[in-house]
A and B are shown apart, each in its own frame.
Chain A
Amino acid sequence: MELTKLTALELAAKIRAKEVSVSEAVEAQLEQIEKKDSLYHCYTSILADEARARAKEVQKQINDGTLTSPLAGVPVAIKDNICTKGIPTTCSSKMLEHFRPPYDATVVECMNAAGTITVGKLNMDEFAMGSTTETSYFGVTKNPRDITRVPGGSSGGAAAAAAAEEAFLTLGSDTGGSIRQPASFCGVTGIKPTYGTVSRYGLIAYASSLDQIGPIARSAADCAAALDVISGSDKRDSTCVDREHYGYLNALTGDIRGMKIGMPAGYFAEGLDEEVRKSIYQAADVLRSLGASVEEFDLKGVKYAIPAYYVIASAEASSNLSRYDGVKYGYRIEKFEGLQEVYKNTRSEGFGNEVKRRMMIGAFVLSSGYYDAYYNKALKVKALIKQSFDEAFEKYDCVLGPTAPTTAMKLGESLSDPLKMYLGDIYTVSVNLAGLPGISVPCGTDKSGLPIGMQLIGRPFGEKEILRAADAYEHAE
């Protein structure tokens, strides 16, 4: 039996049944990382000693009955923009290369309390800005399905690790598609929850009004189990709302009879790869065969989602990333004359080009005289997108479409044409702008064997519906 092939829930069940010890699971995972990571480079740091020590502790708690969570004993990995106490949290940036947070993110506390074991931190696009993981200061992550391809981004390390069995379950973050798009490119499942479902405390901000943490795994059920662990209000994040009775895992009944699914006709027009289009239509047929109704409809307003997204996200990023100034923590230039040079040279050297590009866009759109033309207009577009989704959800339980217009690009193809890269976010960014939950589920491959992902979008806090549909779809195949 190859342990690392199991899903997180399968492994936890074996641990509970004493068929496998937590230490065996951790060793198997570390061995797989050892074997594969020099090739794929999913990790920015590997916590072998910490994981081994913690495995014993968790085993003890399972044995004495104090740990009964469905994920107890499962090795997991965390995207490197989520703070882990005393452990480097770099955002894959030179700026935070040596930053060790003095605290754990709320999601990390939740996972620890549920008995998971963190085996490492995962590579990403620098400060989560990018769609390929190529903007990482520590080098690119390769797509385990084809190492000449990108894994997607920004949670490229998280998706690739799940795909390469270098982790059973990972936590990523999604601001404009950063969980769903890499999940789609690597052939795994990833969910971005409704804004406000998961605490952002300890998530190093890119765009605060859009960022959400979510799980990536090899099954919808694993994602549901992880979401059960990390959801809930947090007194340290006032944008995180209080909702009782999450019970995502229990919602996976396999029964989607009568579920109404809408497919935005506009999603299947120009710019969409033909093979991707075909796969989504086939997936729609599968969902129909399970008893759901699927029909096309007209989703208005999403046309301007990409410019609106890049205006809002960049504006917030320009403010959020101003704190990296060489004064308090992180990188600081060694030689300087005066304060202005500390700022200028630290930031010039500490940040990569994509981050600088977005901070400049952001500073521009917020500057006096341009605020109304850009930022305010983008907020109006955001409101319109929310409204057209609200209208769609009066008729449908979820919205089905592609996650990305293409399968994974070749390495090195994207960064030279950022505008083209931005357009690849067309199906994902509107979900963040509207604050909705979205899940990417593998739905076949193209002719070169590259994974294709379908996206199910739910109504606000409608995670149960999209997880149920995703789970039912997985089992239908």
Chain B
Amino acid sequence: MNDYTHYTDHTHYPDYTAYETGAPIADTKAPEGPIAERWDRRRFEAKLVNPANRRKYTVIVVGTGLAGGAAGATLAEQGYHVEQFCYQDSPRRAHSIAAQGGINAAKNYRNDGDSVHRLFYDTVKGGDFRAREAGVHRLAQISVEIIDQCVAQGVPFAREYGGLLDTRSFGGVQVSRTFYARGQTGQQLLLGAYQALSRQIAAGTVTMHARTEMLDLIVVDGRARGIVARDLITGEISSHFADAVVLASGGYGNVFYLSTNAMNSNATAIWRAHRRGAYFANPCFTQIHPTCIPRTGDHQSKLTLMSESLRNDGRIWVPAAKGDDRPPNEIPEDERDYYLERIYPSFGNLVPRDIASRAAKNVCDEGRGVGPGGQGVYLDFADAIRRMGRKEVEEKYGNLFDMYERITAENPYEVPMRIYPAVHYTMGGLWVDYDLQTTVPGLFAIGEANFSDHGANRLGASALMQGLADGYFVLPSTISDYLARNPHPTSVDASHPAVTQVLAETEDRLRQLLAVDGDRTPDSFHRELGEVMWEFCGMARTDAGLRKALDRIPQIRAEFWRRIKVPGTGKEFNQSLEKANRIVDYLELAELMCLDALHRAESCGGHFREESQTPDGEAARHDEEFSYAAAWEFTGTGKAPALHKEDLVFEYVHPTQRSYA
């Protein structure tokens, strides 16, 4: 049964930081040979399921974003029966929809020197050498097919007058390989996947369960065989069975409370899977996006991203003097500090996301930040308007400027925008092998839910690429190998002891949440946790800070189980209960994130440890010690997890210290 009641007293816990290092883990599925041939080889070596037999297999897919929607549609097209789940009222609302900028593909339509190998190289280097070469190379190869697929589906990418696709350069990359649909690329790609999924729902090959949230994983005889889910309208808890389970439930950025994730994006599916045996890899790798709209007060419920493309023409600055609170237009040119241009003269405002974010934090920490609470820097278009004319600026960025004005009531054509970094994406996730299978046989993780291709830092316009690559192309090819090698497993139903146990635990958990009847709201705990995480596990981390966080989190958790108040019952539409249950998992995941951040005593990508920096303040990796993916095994509630290291070998892209100066 559950042991949450034990949480109410945090003092009884063993030292969470006293983790043990278990056996190393290896990706056994990645084939040998020249890197460009590995994907072909794997597809050839993988066993296939006879087309006539496919309808006998059921696959559960959790989530309907780019990865989940694409996977569900494609598996159904191949003949499998798919049971698909999403917590939203419609599969069309998954948070992939909010991605603005674009999607990378090594099409080289511009003839500007791009290639599969260059995209592969850029991604490995951008990820600060903490991703697997084989996986990243496959991603670059597939990127080309994704664009073809999306165009065939009717995705209205931007086009030029000749009728061909337009591309732009994005995120400081030197080639124009980013395809886009104005500022709504994610929306358009998601609708493409949603439409493909809708076609299969109409055909009866996909059974869609909307407003149904996965609350636990069913593992029978060591294999993933189904999920326990709650109907969010009736509150009914039910079990669903399948031959394989695919998690496409997105990232866990909402641990930080304030992030650019959707309000209901959550970590429950992956965290429950982790508790049932799936290793969680690199949980501390989170991406902080530099260009978000700063918060305006304590009421703030989420943060809104402004596309990174703004940095192409906007100039970032703060007042040179501390505490200069004159209106920006009254600060003369020589009293401004264009700090990115000053520190990184060759890349200027276009340095990678992690560097831009950290620099903003540093100037704000120096007391030179602007706006409420000094948590902001200026992104100024005055020069761009002088140079290009207001009309051209309007054409290029009009919709972003409008969005900014709607939220802040300030006109960015006249006053510089204020921006501040915010949690945006999580590179970590469930550990998967080359087949995207987790350490639980039959459990697969795709898209942001897995840890795969971005290493310690994701490049702009690569999340959409990875989600769709996993969903449309990788998983549908690799899952057949698992299904073919594990034909017709014993049937399970709701009376199986393994199932009744999971069901009982789930119901018990919700019952306990309702029973506490304390005096604090779910949001108050979420906000408190978020503040601790942002402070100690955010843009810059220290040994001491992380230890403080690891001390605080169990206290918050104890407080939570003593004082949480969830009104209503579990047998009805109850948004407070949904929220509280997600916070239960954040309170555990946060601890693992801090532990991972603590153990990785190096700086790499989005993970910046203040103890590990170069003399000029840049991130310093320690490859001899940390060139591995950290896969954590759950060992019991509140117990220190076990660390399994997967060594990263670089044969094609040799690790160098990133330098953008």
Partners in one complex: no
User: Footprint of A on B, CB under 8 Å?
Assistant: none
User: Footprint of B on A, CB under 8 Å?
Assistant: none
